[in-house]
């Protein structure tokens, strides 16, 4: 009798749990904390003969069931917590834990140990050759932008691995590469006279003199504490370089707190653990621009990686009349729109022409896809605009246009092709004459 009662209790308990899971899956009555880094949307596949027989509908149902399992977030966090607490293993393969619970993104560890270089270029010599080509293209771009009245400044932003290699996991500490591509680019920029800020070495010199770390243990981007230092350095450099009278950063309060911004614990969030880590007090400073009355307010275009994100969310952008941020030339943000595909940006050439300053902000891993080919693309955009203007001028001149028609007939080419050839020739001749 006791044995039957025991089985009955077990059966009822299992039934209650399964019912609760099913009910939560359908109703989501209990609000769960969303998992960080997991896709939030799914594309529904309709039930049709085609989708049924090719298996796509069944795959959708399976994925849909997984996504809507009751208390899914709790089960995943519990599993991740058990894996970490018992085996000291992180389920997220993109994150590695170093000394004293210091978290690092694997992509930065692969870069500093030379794995990325070997995969991308095969050898240091090939990487150096490609870097020199990029520096030459950038120098041409800087000259082209200058001819259009546009200033250019490149910011070498340091990664966490560059500032705190001693905190990396032991394997990576023991395999730091002898060659650093970012340092090589810095030397090339000096050689070619390309305007830049070397925050890479600057922050290395600062890290032991400041009371707080430049990166928190649980982040891969520079900390909120670091942002006003970077912002003020960039604004002052731009003022000296361009002659614009720009405001500087004025610190109001360090605001030392354990209430981190999203960026200061982004890697811990990606672990999706059940229990939060203890957080040492860290500044989350309040700062503003100094007196903006009577200051210049140029137009800014930023091309770079995610290291500009925190500057974008700060008062830094308020120093400018308008601003655009083209992230990896894939996503675009501005004072007029927010996070749209770059392909949806209307007339990037006009935006580039209207910019008074082009600012590039990149870290070491982005050197392997240098500025997303912006130097070549920007030159092409500006040259194409010049060619189109020149073609329009030729068409407006009856005698010149008649000569183009005659040339096209003699060369047996189309009038449009002949127009373009003449426009390009005239532009280059005029440029050579100015030099």
Give the pLDDT score at 37: 75
The three-state secondary structure class of 323 is strand
Q: Per this entry, what is the length of the chain?
A: 435
Give the pLDDT score at 63: 74
Give the pLDDT score at 1: 54
For 342-397, the pLDDT digits (tens) are 999 999 999 999 999 999 999 999 999 999 999 999 988 988 877 788 788 888 88
What's the gap between Cα 239 and its chain centre? 25
DSSP state of 48: -
For 36-77, the pLDDT digits (tens) are 875 556 677 787 878 878 888 778 767 776 777 767 888 889
> Is residue 368 within 8 Å of residue 134, measured between CB atoms?
no
Give the pLDDT score at 99: 94
Give the pLDDT score at 21: 66
Residue spans of alpha helices (H) in 38-123: 49-53, 56-67, 72-87, 106-112, 115-120
Token readout for 29 is: 């009555």
> Is residue 150 within 8 Å of residue 356, measured between CB atoms?
yes
For 142-163, the pLDDT digits (tens) are 999 998 999 999 999 999 999 9
Q: Pick from 392, 297, 299, 388: which is nearest to 352 by CA?
A: 299
Residue spans of alpha helices (H) in 94-152: 106-112, 115-120, 124-147
Q: Distances from the Cα of 312 to the Cαs of 40, 307, 315, in angstroms? A: 25, 9, 8
Q: Pick from 128, 241, 400, 272: which is nearest to 392 by CA?
A: 400
374-396 helix and 398-411 helix, angle to the nearest 10 degrees: 110
Q: Distances from the Cα of 270 to the Cαs of 86, 96, 108, 160, 396, in angstroms? A: 19, 11, 16, 17, 60
> Is residue 141 within 8 Å of residue 370, measured between CB atoms?
no
Q: Pick from 31, 104, 101: which is nearest to 73 by CA?
A: 31
Give the pLDDT score at 335: 92
Arithmetic mean of pLDDT over the chain: 90
Domain residue spans in the chain? 2-89, 99-372, 397-434
The three-state secondary structure class of 3 is helix
The three-state secondary structure class of 43 is coil
Give the pLDDT score at 40: 58
For 165-196, the pLDDT digits (tens) are 999 999 999 999 999 999 999 999 999 999 99
pLDDT at 435 over 60: no
Q: Distances from the Cα of 98 to the Cαs of 88, 102, 159, 335, 419, in angstroms? A: 12, 5, 15, 39, 62
């Amino acid at each position: 009798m006791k044995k039957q009662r025991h089985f009955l209790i077990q059966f009822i308990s299992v039934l209650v749990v399964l019912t609760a899971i099913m009910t939560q899956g359908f109703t989501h009555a209990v609000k769960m904390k969303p998992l960080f880094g997991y896709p939030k949307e799914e594309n529904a596949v309709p039930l049709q003969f085609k989708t049924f027989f090719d298996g796509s509908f069944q795959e959708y149902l399976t994925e849909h069931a997984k996504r809507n399992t009751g208390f899914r977030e709790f089960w995943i966090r519990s599993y991740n917590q058990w894996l970490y607490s018992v085996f000291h293993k992180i389920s997220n393969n993109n994150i590695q834990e170093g000394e004293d619970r210091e978290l690092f993104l694997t992509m930065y560890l692969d870069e500093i140990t030379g794995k990325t270089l070997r995969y991308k270029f095969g050898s240091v010599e090939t990487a150096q050759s490609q870097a020199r080509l990029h520096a030459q293209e950038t120098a041409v771009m800087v000259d082209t932008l200058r001819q259009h009245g546009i200033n250019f400044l490149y910011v070498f932003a340091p990664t966490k691995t560059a500032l705190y290699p001693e905190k990396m996991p032991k394997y990576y500490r023991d395999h730091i590469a002898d060659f650093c591509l970012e340092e090589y680019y810095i030397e090339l920029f000096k050689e070619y006279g390309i305007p830049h800020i070397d925050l890479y070495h600057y922050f290395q010199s600062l890290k032991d003199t400041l009371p707080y770390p430049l990166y928190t243990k649980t982040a891969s981007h520079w900390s909120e504490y670091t942002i006003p230092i970077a912002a003020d350095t960039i604004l002052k450099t731009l003022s000296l370089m361009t002659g614009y009278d720009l405001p500087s950063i004025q610190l109001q309060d360090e605001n030392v707190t354990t209430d981190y911004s999203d960026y200061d614990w982004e890697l811990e969030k990606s672990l999706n653990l059940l229990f939060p880590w203890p957080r040492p007090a860290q500044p989350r400073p309040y700062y503003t621009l100094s007196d903006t009355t009577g200051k210049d307010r140029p137009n800014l275009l930023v091309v770079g990686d995610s290291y500009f994100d925190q500057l974008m969310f700060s008062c830094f952008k308020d120093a400018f009349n308008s601003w655009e941020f083209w992230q990896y030339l894939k996503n675009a943000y501005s004072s007029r729109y927010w996070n749209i595909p770059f392909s949806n940006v209307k007339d990037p050439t006009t935006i580039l022409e209207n910019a008074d300053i082009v600012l590039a902000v990149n870290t070491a891993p982005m050197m392997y896809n240098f500025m997303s080919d912006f130097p070549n693309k920007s030159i092409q955009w500006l040259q194409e605009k010049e060619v189109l203007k020149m073609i329009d001028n030729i068409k407006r001149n009856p005698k010149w246009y008649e000569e183009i028609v005659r040339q096209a007939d003699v060369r047996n080419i189309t009038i449009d092709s002949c127009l373009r050839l003449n426009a390009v020739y005239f532009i280059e001749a005029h440029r050579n004459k100015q030099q």
